[in-house]
Structure 1
Amino acid sequence: MTDSVVHAAGGVLWRLVDGRLRILLIHRTQYRDVTLPKGKVEPGETLVETAVRELEEETGIRVELGVPLGVSRYHLPSMREKVVQYWAAKATDEAIQQSSFVPNKEIAAVEWVSPKRALSCLSYPVDVDIVRRFLRYADDGVLDTFPLVVLRHAKAVARGEWTKDDASRPLTARGERQARAVVGPLRAFGVRRIFSSDAVRCAATVAPLAAALDRKVHLMPELSQDAWELGQSDPRTVIGKRIRASLPAVLCSHGPVLPDILNEIALATGTLRNTHLGNASSLEVGAFSVVHLSATKPGAGIVAIETHATQV
């Protein structure tokens, strides 16, 4: 990130009220405008962590991120460019009830409005564009999604430097930092269940996440590189169960196995395989791809894919 660009993140918060879609807008005190909640990235944050934090700070509502809605770009009075990444974010009834929002020196009010009203009263064309992108998902009936996160293990001791069996290779110091760094971004997507190859380097990669969530790691030999090399891997069974469960989950595996995992997600959801799947499976160590699937129409195909690298 360069000093000439200000990076920020935010979202389109949504809910259903009596079956009707409503979007949350904020009325800012200083600028006397109506806009979408967003804010600047703080040191050490990823964009997804910024989005979750800013949405809660400006609206009082804790959310988990849904589909990515793209980027808005505009110039500040200082002539620096501001680049804002947005995600859709469903506001649950529980999160709304727990909101502690009160008008303050930054935000005068928050308002739930219909999509039509949102488009007419937003102060900035860039916000209108983001809402229009959001409404395409609503029009297609795939706004309510859950993520399957495909994670490549963090940096491990090199194969040539390890004298024991390959599955026991541990993480390096950098790999351990990567494993810790991925916790915040994965929590931003609401990961609930953790599945991993039984290789040490994979289990160690998701161990900090499991500790943070107080969740068990489900070790799966069928996702291991050893099984893949023997022609015995079975991502199809794993993916089928995860899609039927329709719960946010992460699957940690190895570089050679990732294309098979992504292909099985595509096959299970009737998605045409294309270059996006290839890019999503070509991950550096410690990186992950988020595959957003419809919670109500699992056969509707992959709704969106996004890829994130660790900053370590």
Structure 2
Amino acid sequence: MDGDVRSRRGPVLAAGAVLWRQQPDAPDGRVELCLVHRPRYDDWSLPKGKLEDGESLLVCAVREVFEETGHRVTLGRPLQPQHYTVAGRPKIVRYWLAEADPHAAERVPDHEVDEVVFLPAGEAVRQLSYERDAELVREALRGPLRTTPLALLRHAKAVSRAAWPGPDVERPLTPEGAADLEPLGEALGTLGLRRVLSSDSVRCAETVRVFAGKQGLVAELEPHLSEESMRVPHDRHPAEAIIRSLLRDGPAMVCSHRLVLPLLFRAAGADPGRGLEPGGFAVLHHDQGHVVAVERHRPRGAGPAPVIDL
């Protein structure tokens, strides 16, 4: 999604997670947090690492958590990014909350990480070597640890209306738009989505097909999410009820159009912002239907980092 964002002229970008679990056998559900020890620096930190070429921040966070802890995770609520300087060069680290994998095997120590521990939250804050990490943990603990994602996606780049001779509903993706589907699916795959709803327009159905197939899901085509539905007078647009229903349900994604997406944001009680570019998406993280954080991701090559509204 974000392309190669490690330009030598720009900041170093990295991503990671505040990895948490409920303390085993604790009657009050106390939380433990994961810390890693790096022998090169002799420090205790949160799992994180630099982006690889062509990698999105979301994919980077999941990969780095697995490489440093052995836990395969899906990403939850985003946290405030860290900004600091390393060797005279600015660095930005994006973090998400992530629940620990109860089936993770013990990680074999190596030269990068020689110890992985889960500590009660208060002890973890004291153990961390950097105050910026401790503050990030305190921030994470001030909000809900477990949230549900609702992704709102604008279809990938389509053939222009002027160049398409057929009905608009049948207008397909361009080769450029089709080429973005693989990295788009990888980024969306970090969220643990279990339902896919799409406008029945070809350009939307094509956008979600690759992702749905790889996740073993069936894309539900919904005419009320199409541009054509906006031309029919409604006291309340049926798409609003779809969004409200999804906010009572599990992790889901909706693919629609530029003209429809502001309606979907407002139905969820979220600010539409300046809109999404073709192939861009927003993730609305909600707690029992109440949106607590929104992150917006630009399509591949369009920009270096997501915008996060907390």
Structure 2 length-normalised TM: 0.90
Aligned-residue identity in percent = 40
Given candidates 52, 55, 58, the residue that maps to 1:45 is 55
What residue number does 1:34 align with? 44
- Matched position secondary structure for 2:272: helix
**Contact 2:51–2:60 under 8 Å retained in 1:** yes
Given candidates 91, 97, 106, the residue that maps to 1:82 is 91
Counterpart residue type for residue 293 of structure 2: A
Residue 244 in structure 1 maps to residue 248 in structure 2: yes
Counterpart residue type for residue 80 of structure 1: R
Counterpart residue type for residue 244 of structure 1: R
Aligned residues between the structures: 289
2: CA distance between counterparts of 1:100 and 1:51?
Answer: 19
Structure 1: segments with no counterpart, 5+ residues: 267-272
Superposition deviation, residue 100 in structure 1: 4.6
Given candidates 278, 281, 284, the residue that maps to 1:291 is 284
What residue number does 1:270 align with? none
Residue 3 in structure 1 maps to residue 35 in structure 2: no
1: CA distance between counterparts of 2:162 and 2:92?
Answer: 43
Residue 311 in structure 1 maps to residue 305 in structure 2: no
2: CA distance between counterparts of 1:163 and 1:292?
Answer: 40
Counterpart residue type for residue 15 of structure 2: A
- Matched position secondary structure for 1:98: coil
What residue number does 1:215 align with? 217
Q: How does 1:80-159 map to 2 (within 5 A)?
A: 80-91=89-100, 95-137=101-143, 142-159=144-161
- Deviation track 1:161-209 (CA, whole Å, cap 9, x = no partner) reads 1121110000001110122221011011111211100000000000110
- Deviation track 1:248-307 (CA, whole Å, cap 9, x = no partner) reads 1110000010011111111xxxxxx6xxx121x61111000000001xx33xx2110000
Counterpart residue type for residue 84 of structure 1: V
**Contact 2:154–2:280 under 8 Å retained in 1:** yes
- Matched position secondary structure for 2:299: coil
Structure 2: segments with no counterpart, 5+ residues: 302-310
Superposition deviation, residue 101 in structure 1: 1.2
Higher helix fraction (1 or 2) = 1
RMSD of aligned residue pairs (Cα, Å): 1.4
Between the two structures, name the one with larger relative contact order (CA 8 Å, sep ≥ 6): 2
Q: How does 1:20-31 map to 2 (within 5 A)?
A: 20-31=30-41
Q: Which moved more, 1:46-55 or 1:117-126?
A: 117-126
Given candidates 205, 208, 225, the residue that maps to 1:206 is 208
Residue 260 in structure 1 maps to residue 254 in structure 2: no
Q: How does 1:146-225 map to 2 (within 5 A)?
A: 146-225=148-227
**Contact 2:258–2:275 under 8 Å retained in 1:** yes
Superposition deviation, residue 57 in structure 1: 0.5
2: CA distance between counterparts of 1:50 and 1:302?
Answer: 25
| Moved >3 Å (runs of 4+) | none
